[in-house]
Structure 1
Amino acid sequence: MTFLGARRGLQLLLGLFLYGFSLAMMIRATLGVSPWDVLSQGGSLQTGIPFGFMTNIIGGIVLLLWIPLRQRPGIGTILNVLLVGPSAEVGLALLDEPNALWARVLLFTGGLVLLAVATGLYIGARLGPGPRDGLMTGIHQRFGLPIWLVRTAIEGTVLLLGWLLGGSVGLGTVAFALLIGPLVNVALPLFRIPERPRPAREAVVAGS
């Protein structure tokens, strides 16, 4: 394995672990979570399945929706489905819910920033998108709908369903919706591993 390949693998695993841990931070802050986590919370409340494993189940279901969209998962996609849930359970086991409001705000803010960093790490490894991101781009490519419309429709539907199931919706949910995009936009260039340059002869042939 080359150094670049090893770096991509380690970056992917670190990003996925931190992603799950950041979810636990925001859950323990009890200020509201992202739409997909509202769904996982609601599903967990209704079934008794722990949050992390419910996240795995939902990720697997979303991945099945890739089939009619003709999307192809990468190793990063599969590991996303398998590892984010358990790492969230690790975070939930280690973290307690703070009593003071300032501490809850600080914990939520730290979780949100960490999630953006984790997203930059695992996407920057270029080993496959997460199942939810792939669903969005797959619908966009299959039906020609604008990305913003697909993203809004998916997250709105997920949020409503999760809320009906009893998931936590609050100011943190609004903050997540407003801030995660700009934060990820900063993180992605910092952690994106560049593509391996093509050999000179191959480049000449491709450009001829």
Structure 2
Amino acid sequence: MTRRTIQILIGLFLYGMGIALIVRGAIGVAPWDVLTQGIDNHTHLGFGLITVLMSGVVLLLWIPLRQKPGVGTVMNAFLVGPSADVGLWLIPADLDLWVRIIMFAVGLLVLAVATGLYIGAHFGPGPRDGLMTGLHNRTGWPIWVVRTGIEVIVLGVGWALGGNVGIGTVLFAVLVGPLCNWTIPFFAIKRPAVAASAASIATAAPVAADARHEAELEGTVVPGAATIDSPAN
């Protein structure tokens, strides 16, 4: 339990830092972060706070879907946003393009590792991942259809509000899935078969399904790999 707790805490902190690096790269961000930026453009509440508030809104959508949050779900909702704010405070903006491209690449790698760490700790899916799997379970629609629908809606609204959509958004969609397909099994903590069976069905299965999806269609929870929350997402 101690190792799992430390792993998820490190994973969620790094997830926020990965988001911050991608945001400071300023060549395009993930769909959920496009929405966060768009909302921030009009409310000026701050990226981290909006991320937390959005997680709360998404969790409310779990209720009619009869999804049950885990400890990791709550930790994800409250920790990723503040971690992203720390990263945005530490990392300067408006750097040269070549520096920003490197920052984006590093951010994507950090985010993929962070996803493997927090999902591999087996404490439950993130809010946005649970929304996807909940809709899948209630409607019977394929994971990739649900994920793509959510991402398109979120991206469209965020773009309309002024969020940063660019080549980085496309690269994120194409690359994060395959990267997470490697990091999730690499960092997964092996658990006793009896204790792990129920949790793995609730957590690992949705992640694997999402990962397979994005390998095909690449979106972000990514495309083909696991569901991330971009937080985030």
Q: Normalized against structure 2, the TM-score is what?
A: 0.82
1:73 aligns with 2:69: yes
* Match for residue 51 of structure 1 among 26, 47, 65: 47
The alignment partner of 1:97 has SS state of coil
* Match for residue 153 of structure 2 among 157, 161, 183: 157
The corresponding residue for 2:180 is: 184
* Match for residue 59 of structure 2 among 43, 63, 82: 63
Q: Distance in 2 between matches of 1:128 and 1:53?
A: 22
**Could you list the runs of 5+ residues in structure 1 that have no partner in the other structure?**
200-208
Alignment of 1:2-13 (within 5 A): 5-13=1-9
1:105 aligns with 2:101: yes
The corresponding residue for 2:227 is: none
CA displacement at 1:99 relative to structure 2: 2.7
The alignment partner of 2:69 has SS state of coil
Alignment of 1:17-28 (within 5 A): 17-28=13-24
* Match for residue 86 of structure 1 among 66, 70, 82: 82
CA displacement at 1:196 relative to structure 2: 1.7
The corresponding residue for 1:206 is: none
Alignment of 1:142-153 (within 5 A): 142-153=138-149
1:41 aligns with 2:34: no
The alignment partner of 1:65 has SS state of helix
Over the matched positions of the two proteins, sequence identity in percent amounts to: 57
Q: Distance in 2 between matches of 1:91 and 1:70?
A: 34
- Equivalent position amino acid for 1:158 in 2: V
Root mean square deviation, CA, Å: 1.1
Q: Distance in 2 between matches of 1:198 and 1:30?
A: 46
Q: Distance in 2 between matches of 1:173 and 1:19?
A: 17
- Equivalent position amino acid for 2:113 in 1: V
The corresponding residue for 2:190 is: 194
The corresponding residue for 2:121 is: 125
Q: Which has the larger radius of gyration?
A: 1
Q: Which of the pair has the greater relative contact order for Cα pairs under 8 Å at 6+ separation?
A: 1
Q: Distance in 2 between matches of 1:188 and 1:14?
A: 14
CA displacement at 1:102 relative to structure 2: 1.5
- Equivalent position amino acid for 1:69 in 2: L
**Could you list the runs of 5+ residues in structure 2 that have no partner in the other structure?**
196-233
Q: Distance in 1 between matches of 2:3 and 2:134?
A: 28
Runs of 4+ with >3 A deviation: none
- Equivalent position amino acid for 2:104 in 1: F
The corresponding residue for 1:202 is: none
Q: Distance in 2 between matches of 1:56 and 1:151?
A: 21
CA displacement at 1:194 relative to structure 2: 1.3
CA displacement at 1:195 relative to structure 2: 1.9
Q: Distance in 2 between matches of 1:125 and 1:99?
A: 35
Aligned length: 195
